[in-house]
Amino acid sequence: MTSFTTTYGTLDGVEFRTLFSNGKTDGCLVSKANILKTPYGELVPQHFAEDMGRRPVKPLYFYKSGALKSIALQEQTLLDTPVGKVPAELVTFHESGSIKRIFPLDGRLTGYWTSKNEYDLAESITIDTPAGALTAKFIGLQFYDSGALKSITLWPGELLTINTTSGEFRVRTGVAFYEDGALRSIEPAGVTRVETPVGLITAYDNDPQGIHGDLNSLQFTPEGSVLAFKTVAEEFVIIDQLGEGHRFSPGLKDNPCGTERKVVVPLKVRFSSGRILFEDYQQSFSLDHCRVKVLPYDRKASNPSYSCAS
């Protein structure tokens, strides 16, 4: 066993470490309790895992410069953060030393320990955000290097109410912010009507696949106008400057539980530099030189289902 000096104190009982090509430590295990004194509180790296819900991990990782990159904590610890006091079991850092991500829980998901076990263990937290004080069970929080809140990720089933320039919406999955605090994106929890450069549209992703709230389906510009969205309820007909028509619709795919009924795949639409872009089709049109018709998309299809029990 050896000792190893970090920015926040000396680690004793270092049993294993891997090295970068410059000889600096990439990560290490420790076999005894150590206290690292950081601007966010005293942190004790995980040195044993007696709880079946905790992952056996190499608890400390470093940047090539030697700066602390991440730390898995022995016990959930209350940290002083830019959004208030937040409990953490895993923390990652920017190379500058500012917090990058906080995870209140850091569980090992197995056949014996499931996401439901983790959700039941999670506690509601209140944080101060650019959207006001928010209370929910959070999977994680992400910060810019400056300390500004970048995004929040919610546990499945958790909902928040967020005020936007397009109105007040119920939100699931997550919320993201620009560094100056302006709202960057949300994941609507239900069918949402928003004003766009081509009129009112219905924004909704029926099957968001993201595992974090960093980039959600309804996106805004820093000034608050709609930048991008997904829809399962509408299709678009573009009449170009030659008078030709181009139709863009949500897609269809087989239901995982059987092919007798299809599932709608959302249409992804983005606005940029005076153009409307249909991402899956990789086609865009100048809004000044085309006409846009927004039509109901009424193909009969079911919502995605991943439980095929009858």
CB 306 within 8 A of CB 256: yes
The pLDDT score that the predictor gives to residue 146 is 98
Specify the amino acid at residue 230. Answer: K
Q: In this structure, are 79 and 155 located in the same domain?
A: no
Q: In this structure, are 216 and 87 located in the same domain?
A: no
Structural domain contains residue 137 = no
Could you tell me the pLDDT band of residue 232, with boundaries at 50, 70 and 90? Answer: very high
Between 171 and 212, the more confident residue is: 171
Residue where one domain finishes, among candidates 123, 138, 161: 123
Structural domain contains residue 139 = no
Structural domain contains residue 3 = yes
Q: In this structure, are 106 and 223 located in the same domain?
A: no
Domain that holds residue 116: 1-123
Q: In this structure, are 192 and 287 located in the same domain?
A: yes
Q: In this structure, are 155 and 295 located in the same domain?
A: yes
Q: What share of the chain is helix, strand, coil (3-state, %, to 5)?
A: 5, 55, 40
The yes-or-no verdict on residue 118 having pLDDT over 80 is no
The pLDDT score that the predictor gives to residue 310 is 45
Long-range contacts of 279-288 (CB under 8 A, 24+ apart): 280/251, 281/248, 283/246, 283/248, 285/238, 285/240, 285/246, 287/197, 287/198
Q: In this structure, are 284 and 177 located in the same domain?
A: yes
The pLDDT score that the predictor gives to residue 112 is 53
Average pLDDT estimate for 66-82: 94
The pLDDT score that the predictor gives to residue 109 is 46
**This prediction's pTM:** 0.89
Residue where one domain finishes, among candidates 79, 108, 123: 123
Structural domain contains residue 130 = no
The pLDDT score that the predictor gives to residue 208 is 81
What is the count of structural domains for the chain?
2
Q: In this structure, are 57 and 174 located in the same domain?
A: no
The yes-or-no verdict on residue 165 having pLDDT over 70 is yes
Q: In this structure, are 57 and 117 located in the same domain?
A: yes
Quick: pLDDT tens for 249-306.
999 888 766 666 788 999 999 999 999 999 999 999 999 999 999 999 977 655 555 4
Quick: pLDDT tens for 170-183.
999 999 999 999 99
Between 310 and 176, the more confident residue is: 176
Q: In this structure, are 107 and 170 located in the same domain?
A: no
The pLDDT score that the predictor gives to residue 253 is 85
Q: In this structure, are 39 and 116 located in the same domain?
A: yes
Structural domain contains residue 94 = yes
Give the range among 18-22, 83-87, 129-133, 156-160 with minimum mean pLDDT: 18-22
Mean pLDDT, the chain, whole residue set? 88
Q: In this structure, are 1 and 72 located in the same domain?
A: yes
The yes-or-no verdict on residue 115 having pLDDT over 80 is no
Structural domain contains residue 69 = yes
Residue where one domain finishes, among candidates 104, 123, 142: 123
Structural domain contains residue 42 = yes
> What's the chain's Rg over C-alpha atoms?
23
Q: In this structure, are 181 and 245 located in the same domain?
A: yes
The CA-CA-CA angle for residues 155, 206, 197, to 5°, reads 110
| Those residues with Cβ within 8 angstroms of residue 297's Cβ, 6 or more apart along the chain or in another chain | 231, 232, 233, 234, 235, 249, 250, 264, 267
Query: Could you give the CA distance from residue 68 to residue 62 in angstroms, rounded to a whole number?
Result: 4
Residues in the chain: 310
DSSP state of 304: P
